[in-house]
Amino acid sequence: MIKKYAALLLLLFISAFNILNAQDAPVLTFSVPYQNNVRYNRFLVNPAFSFVREDNTYITLYHRNQWVQYDDSPKMYMLSYNGKFTDRAGFGFGIYQQRLGVISSFGGIANYAYNVKIKDKFNVTLGFNVAYYNSGIDKNRTITEEPDPVLMAMRNNSLVSIKPGINVGYKGFDVGFYAENFVDYDFKSAGMAKLFTNKTYSGHFMYTYPIANGKDLFKDSDLRLMLRGKTSEEFGFGLGGSLMANFPSFGWLQTGIDDYYGVAIGAGFHFTKRLSLGYTFERTTKEGLVNLGPTHEITMIFAFKDREIAKKQLLEEQNKPKDTLAAIEEKLKEDLIKPKDSIEVKRDSIAAAEKADASFDRKAELEKLKLDMDSDNQHLIDALIKEDSVAKIRKTEFDQKVKNLKEYAEKEKAAKEQAGENKPLELKNIKQGKRIADPKTLEDLKHAEDGYYIVSKDIKAKDSDKALKIEKRKTFTEAANTAGKKRESGKEKGVYIVHVDNNPNPELEEQINESNNKPITNTLQNETPQKNQPRETSISLSRPRDIAAETGSEAEEGAKDTSSATPEKPREGLFSLSHPRDIKEESLKTEEDIKEFYSGKTAKPRETVKKVNRLSVEGMEPGFYIIANVFSGQENAENFVNKMGERGLKAGIFLNPKNNFRYVYLKKHYTWREALISYYSNVDNSYFDSIWIMSINTN
């Protein structure tokens, strides 16, 4: 049979390598038949695939035995490490050996891929493979009656090959291109190798379809269809394709067709959560090659992460809400960017925009945004500050970004209120003091820093065990994702989220202080804030009864009101309330009462106070200040005060020593109740722009 195909084998040798000259050995170039590597070692198909739709990193041992019915058939061995290295990059490297008759090639290959997100669900991944190998005659495999001087004189060749590739992904679709030996450098000739290289280019179209309703063994499964086109100087153009069904719980099935290598079918099985084995059977249908026999491929895989968890993490990453400002704008642009914003309108308003930019105090605007947003949205403000520091945007664009940010904050707040089992328990600590950065117990949480804390127990722990796992996250979204992963892993139980909020809450403070001294609570008392006023109780925790028992909090969410208190008369002088009070006004007890009452008496009702900003300024009288504006320069602050004077408003200025900003205030009050009345009444219907309440030196 070997004699019958002697001419064909000679043709195969010529196609695999060419002889450089009388002294140079033949070269077996690095060219792996990769058509069956649809689940692992995908970086051989395209270097970008070490990142694209990858969820883990692996060590693989791969063997291909091609056309087994004749001796000295092509063989390939490779040991490699590859996969998703970071959330933006894929990485891999390996060593390999190829044999074709007496010709052998040994070397290594390195891979790198980097992903660039253009928009949500749209990305580009650039990658390259670099192969270094030494190829020539394996003299140990040659059989001659006596030493052949020609063979003995042949020298091996060392080459390096650079193979770039690109993949463009959109939702479940991927399109890419691969230059398999774009650069081939021969170290022996110190130049580009041209005589024995076969320039090959390939492209692919791939679609991944997630099986959304899969359950049990078929959970998180997907189907992947790939079509390939390949052209080379030697073999011309050819087509191929593959279909794979991936089942993270137990394995995968695959089939493929190639117009040169034929039809293939394969399967893989996961023996453990990290160890897998795959086998592929391939049979050529090409005339003249069919009698050479089948091809066998075996792949052993060790995954560094638990396979099922890695798959879930990939799906969560693809579907989770983004906190970045770019994603916020993308999500809201249909609602916020109106068609009327045409080029002509922008051209007509360019003079007005330039005038607005001249007086635009970017730093002061960011400070006002901090006053306006609560602590839960600090990550959004940080994103805006980071972007703003890179690109000095115009005022109109800045205003649009702020609007987008506030819209997203409202959506995030609504999502938190409907979070189901992830709805956080609210822990409010109004006592000032040192905060614990890494709380270990529920008692520590009473004095912890602001943030979201995921509390859980080990699955093996007894219910009576008090040992807890407590992890901190900055945002609710991050905390909800972490809590969900803990529940799905099955390694922890009793998972819940606690939101620690140390922001001042004057109404709650007054209620707690009153509860320590009087039986009357839940009213807004007109009491003058005092420095260093002792508070025995400083924790308020809204939670289920079982959690309340563990925390042992002494404060109640709000004691019932048993009588009414008569507010003291307004103070004259620096602290005053210019509007007259009637009997109904005196009966207002809570913030909700005050808001409802004054919403009907003003042309522009105020939103609920989101936060109370607390500040210590040496030399200033304690109280609650109604802030109207913030400036980084003294001149602008004084100009604003003069404008307020023209409107009949007596404004003042103070300097924040922490950031050197000038704050302009319209009123200052001794009590939180009076400050709320000024806020919701728009300072007696005299000022309708943004205002904030600043608690100064009230401790």
pLDDT, tens digit (0-9, with 9 covering 90-100), for 235-280: 789 999 999 999 988 899 999 999 889 999 999 999 998 999 999 9
- The per-residue pLDDT for range 559-576, each reduced to its tens digit, is 333 333 333 333 333 343
Distance CA 617, CA 654 (A): 9
**Is the model's pLDDT at 352 over the cut of 60?**
no
Domains of the chain: 6-318 (2.40.160.40), 320-417 (no CATH), 422-551 (no CATH), 583-696 (3.30.70.1070)
668 vs 344: which has the higher pLDDT: 668
- Which pLDDT band holds residue 181 (cuts at 50, 70, 90)? confident
* pLDDT reported for residue 79: 96
Distances (CA, A) of 302 to 14, 113, 152, 299, 457: 37, 21, 42, 10, 30
**In this model, does residue 120 exceed pLDDT 60?**
yes
Q: What is the mean pLDDT of residues 55-71?
A: 91
pLDDT of residue 511: 54
Residue 190 has pLDDT above 60, yes or no: yes
- Mean pLDDT, the chain, whole residue set: 76
Give pLDDT, residue 328.
Answer: 47
Report which of residues 523 and 468 the model is more confident about: 468
Q: pLDDT-based confidence at 335, cuts 50/70/90?
A: very low
Report the C-alpha gap between 212 and 226 in whole angstroms: 20
Least confident stretch, 86-95, 116-125, 163-172, 221-230: 116-125
Rounded Cα–Cα distance for residues 128 and 299 (Å): 23
Which of 684, 413, 441 shows the shortest CA–CA distance to 570?
A: 684
pLDDT at 547 over 50: no
The segment with the largest mean pLDDT, out of 244-253, 317-326, 370-379, is 244-253
**String of DSSP letters for 436-478:** BSS--SHHHHTTBPSEEEEEEEETTS-TT----EEEEESSHHH
The whole-number average pLDDT for the span 671-695 is: 88
- pLDDT (0 to 100) of residue 536: 34
**Per-residue confidence (pLDDT) for residue 545, from 0 to 100:** 33
**What is the SS3 assignment for 355?**
helix
What is the band of 537 on the pLDDT scale with cuts at 50, 70, 90?
A: very low
- SS in 3 state form for 253-320? EEEEEECCCEEEEEEEEECCCCEEEEEEEEECCCCCCHHHCCEEEEEEEEECCCHHHHHHHHHHHHHC
* DSSP 3-state of 137: strand
**Residue 523 reports pLDDT greater than 80:** no
Q: Give the model confidence (pLDDT) of 461-482 as tens digits.
A: 887 777 888 998 877 778 888 8
Note the pLDDT of residue 219: 81
Q: How far apart are alpha carbons 691 and 369 in whole angstroms?
A: 11
Beta carbons within 10 angstroms of residue 623's beta carbon:
24
pLDDT (average), residues 160-188: 91
Q: What is the mean pLDDT of residues 656-680?
A: 88
Task: Give the mean pLDDT of 479-499.
Answer: 85
pLDDT of residue 152: 65
Burial group, residue 576, by CB count within 10 angstroms (0-12, 13-18, 19+): middle
DSSP string, 373-431: S-GGGHHHHHHHHHHHHHS---HHHHHHHHHHHHHHHHHHHHHHHT-GGGPPEEEEE-S
Rounded Cα distance between 359 and 365, Å, is 11
- Please indicate whether residue 531 or residue 368 has the higher confidence score (pLDDT): 368
Q: Report helix, strand and coil shares of the chain as percent, to nearest 5.
A: 30, 30, 40
Average pLDDT of the segment spanning 426-453: 80
| Bridge partners for 631 per DSSP | 662
Residue 191 has pLDDT above 50, yes or no: yes
Our CA angle for 567, 573, 576, nearest 5°, is 40
User: Mean pLDDT lowest for which of 234-243, 331-340, 616-625?
Assistant: 331-340
pLDDT by residue (tens digit) across 507-518? 555 555 555 554
